[in-house]
Structure formats: structure tokens, C-alpha cells
């Protein structure tokens, strides 16, 4: 899938972004890990990404001007898809790329006959929750203390949508 769009960021900046999604490979892991470590307080390790690739999870990168600018990891099995990670590099956030990646995952999951999409998100992650709620996800549960914090634990919201 190829996109060539003019985006306007929430602060009014105009940005012309040429990007596309492609499958992630081992060669992408250094770039993926650099974004992962900047984006999360408790980032995934290289081994986790390697395992996702090894077991053939659906792993994509967002590439812009031949640079990895984000990624997503999803499982699809037995009619159910589960987004395990979706991340856009800080420099390109707020321009519609995360929403576009989510739509790409929805299409891909449907093509693999998934009927349901699930994910967990930190209860404090307002940006991501807004993205999901405006993309037909609903809260279907909560896992108390699921995520670590520097000082304690934080709940996960379990969100789901029919495909």
C-alpha cells in the first residue's frame, strides 16, 4: 500500500509525507528498537521482536524516504486479531500515520478472516485511546495493575471491535 498525502498537523503545520507500509525484517530491528526505546518507558527487547518475526506474527514497518518511521505487530488466529504494538516515530506523530496503519491492520486482519480485533492499552495513554475510540473500538474489559510503572502498576484497558 502506498500513500502520498498532504497532512496538516494539529498545530497547523503542513507536512508532505510520502510513506508506505511493508513487512518488517530482521534488518529493520535496529531502527525499530531505536524508536521503541524513545517511545516507551518499558520498551520491548530485541528478543521479543525477533520472536515475533520468528513465529510469523504480522509485523510491518512504516517507511518514509527509505527510513523506518514506525511499526506494528499483530497476531491473527482463529478468527481473532490482536494488536500487540503500534508505534510512530515522535517526529511524524499527529499527521494521520497511526490511523492509517490501524486501517491497514484492519484490512489485513479481515483478509485473514478475522472477525474481531483486540488490544490492550495503558489507561493513561490518552492519545492512543482517542485513536482507538474514534476507530470503532469499545472498552470490553480492564486488567488491574497489568503494566509496570516506575512507582507501582497501571491498569490496562482491553479494547475490541468487530471487523
Ligand X SMILES: CC(C)(COP(=O)(O)OP(=O)(O)OC[C@H]1O[C@@H](n2cnc3c(N)ncnc32)[C@H](O)[C@@H]1OP(=O)(O)O)[C@@H](O)C(=O)NCCC(=O)NCCS
Is 71 in the active site?
no
**CB closer to ligand X, 93 vs 161:** 93
DSSP secondary structure string, 95-130? SSHHHHHHHHHHHHHHHTT--EEEEEEETT-HHHHH
**CB closer to ligand X, 113 vs 141:** 141
Nearest approach in angstroms of CB 23 to ligand X is 19
Q: Would you state the cell numbers that stand for residue 71, as one nine-digit string?
A: 511499526
Residue 127 found at the interface with ligand X (CB under 6 A)? yes
Q: Considering only CA atoms, which of 94, 36, 35, 97 is closest in space to residue 62?
A: 97
Is 120 in the active site?
yes
Q: Would you state the cell numbers that stand for residue 80, as one nine-digit string?
A: 481473532
**Polymer length of the chain:** 163
**Contact with ligand X (CB under 6 A): which of 29, 32, 87, 109?**
87
| Per-residue interface string for the shown chain with ligand X, residues 11-50, x marking contact by CB under 6 A | ----------------------------x-----------
Residue 10 found at the interface with ligand X (CB under 6 A)? yes
Nearest approach in angstroms of CB 2 to ligand X is 17
**Contact with ligand X (CB under 6 A): which of 93, 110, 112, 161?**
93
Q: Which residues pair with 61 in a beta bridge?
A: 22, 71
Segment 36-45 long-range contacts (CB within 8 Å, at least 24 positions apart):
36/85, 36/87, 38/89, 38/90, 39/87, 39/89, 39/90, 40/87, 41/149, 41/150, 42/147, 42/148, 44/85
**CB closer to ligand X, 84 vs 163:** 84
* Catalytic residue set: 120, 132
For ligand X, the binding residues (CB under 6 A) are 10, 39, 86-88, 93-99, 121, 125, 127-128, 130-131, 134
Amino acid at each position: 500500500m502506498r500513500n502520498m498525502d498532504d497532512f496538516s498537523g494539529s498545530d497547523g503545520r503542513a507536512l508532505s509525507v510520502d510513506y508506505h507500509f511493508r513487512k518488517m525484517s530482521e534488518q529493520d530491528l535496529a531502527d525499530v528498537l531505536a524508536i521503541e526505546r524513545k517511545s516507551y518507558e518499558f520498551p520491548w527487547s530485541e528478543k521479543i521482536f525477533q520472536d515475533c518475526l520468528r513465529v510469523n506474527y504480522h509485523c510491518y514497518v512504516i517507511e518514509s524516504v527509505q527510513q523506518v518511521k514506525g511499526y506494528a505487530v499483530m497476531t491473527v488466529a482463529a478468527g481473532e486479531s490482536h494488536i500487540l504494538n503500534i508505534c510512530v516515530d515522535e517526529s511524524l506523530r499527529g499527521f494521520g500515520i497511526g490511523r492509517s496503519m490501524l486501517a491497514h491492520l484492519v484490512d489485513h486482519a479481515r483478509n485473514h478472516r478475522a472477525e474481531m480485533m483486540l488490544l490492550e492499552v495503558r489507561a493513561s495513554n490518552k492519545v492512543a485511546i482517542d485513536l482507538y475510540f474514534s476507530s470503532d473500538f469499545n472498552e470490553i474489559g480492564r486488567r488491574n495493575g497489568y503494566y509496570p510503572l516506575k512507582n507501582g502498576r497501571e491498569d490496562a484497558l482491553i479494547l475490541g471491535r468487530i471487523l
